[in-house]
Chain A
Amino acid sequence: MMIRSIAGAIALATLSLSTLAATTQEEAQAALAAAQTAESEALAAKAAWMPTEATLTEARKAFGDGHWDQAKAAADKALSLARLSLQQANQQKTAWRDAVFR
């Protein structure tokens, strides 16, 4: 019983410590770069979404203010949105034909 309690306490402490680990500037920068690259691709494909742009702006601002956690979170979200927009564009290259009224 005591050993279980100690083990549980150690596990809880480890979990707490891991969630407190901060994002570094380099990590935030890498996330931002990845998001910007994906969004550039979406813009070139004429497939960009407005929320992606808004989220990227948010990420850039957070990065500029030195809030690395916030910047990375927003950049990761922007990356997901950009990838979804590209996926939509790729699917629609053929999927549009199914919608044609005959």
Chain B
Amino acid sequence: MTLCKPDTELLRGRGACADRGTLRRPLRRGWITLAQGAVCALVLVLAPAWAADETDPEADRKALQAFFFAKFPKVAKDDFGNGPYAVNQEMRKQWKEIMEFPPYEFALDEGHAEWTKAFPNGKHYADCFDNKGEGIRQTYPRFIARTGQVETLEGAINRCRVENGAKAIDPMTGLMASLAAVMSESSRGKPFSIVIPDDPRALAAYQRGKEFYYSRKGQLGVSCASCHMSSAGERMRGDILAPALGILAAMPIYRSDWGSMGTTIRRIATCSSQTRAVPLNADDEDYRDLEYFLAYMSNGIAITGPGARP
């Protein structure tokens, strides 16, 4: 019988002694390898979820833009601001004909006339905005630190009115759309440059907008992404679904379906009802956050508004 020294054990089947460490090492190595493998597997499984939990607007923007550049390789970057006309040649021809006499011209006339009128306190719209309101549309929506909320262009116009003694107006259409058209026209060609400041509330607003964009809603159970991402460029009844990239660039729009002008909020509310969801109030935070997300996704895409749509 082989007797082994202390700290050694008999190797079974070999009749020799070996360090306990030697014997245990393979076993320990096996368990460590198994544990490492389990951790790696866990990381691989959970990484997408963790990635989804992390808020990285710039990564989101790059991914979304890359998606659309790949989906529509023949569309120039700034042409995405022309919505369905960028991805359907037949519609583009019709649009070019319509644009010989742009249907939003009357709104521009009304907007210019209103812009120069004084408020009850003698101030003007130009006094409320950077650079007198010229060439700044592409920076809206903005996160306002004072309120901790997102402010749309229409929200800023209404705030300007109220702060200077005038009443707030319907943010969806009419005079508001005309004023927004004037500001949009002065920004034509300038790329969206939405800022998410280093403020957790701003990031949270962006994230809520992203959640809204991807959440299925209404009795039809569709999300913004369902139509404007996966199905962008395809037909839905008589319409061509515009890509989400650049979808706000032409706002406000004259929409043939409405027979009038409408702002971003009007279009979002219409979309809500088209999914058979009860639309929210025009100034709802959810809509503003969605606009914030969509505009940020279009950073770098040129303003094309005011625009015309089917």
Contact = CB atoms under 8 A, between A and B. Distances in A.
A50 B277 contact: yes
Contacts of A14: none
Contacts of B216: 88, 92, 95-96, 99
Contact of B278 (A49, A92, A101, A102): A49
Contacts of B277: 47-50
B116 interface: no
B280 interface: yes
Contacts of B276: 49-51
Given A46-B286, A48-B277, A50-B276, A102 B48 contact: yes
Interface in A66-102: 81, 85, 88, 92, 95-97, 99-102
A92 B217 CA distance: 8
B225 interface: yes
Interface in B36-64: 48-49, 51-53, 63-64
| Range for the number of chain A residues in contact with chain B | 10 to 19
Interface residue SS majority, chain B: helix
Given A81-B219, A99-B225, A53 B278 contact: yes
Interface residues of B, number: 27
Interface residue SS majority, chain A: helix
30 contacts: A43-B278, A46-B280, A46-B284, A46-B286, A49-B218, A49-B276, A49-B278, A50-B218, A50-B219, A50-B273, A50-B277, A50-B278, A53-B278, A85-B219, A88-B217, A92-B217, A95-B215, A95-B216, A96-B211, A96-B215, A96-B216, A97-B53, A99-B223, A101-B63, A101-B64, A101-B67, A101-B225, A102-B51, A102-B52, A102-B63
Interface of A: 43, 46-51, 53, 81, 85, 88, 92, 95-97, 99-102
Interface of B: 48-49, 51-53, 63-64, 67, 210-211, 214-219, 221, 223, 225, 229, 273, 276-278, 280, 284, 286
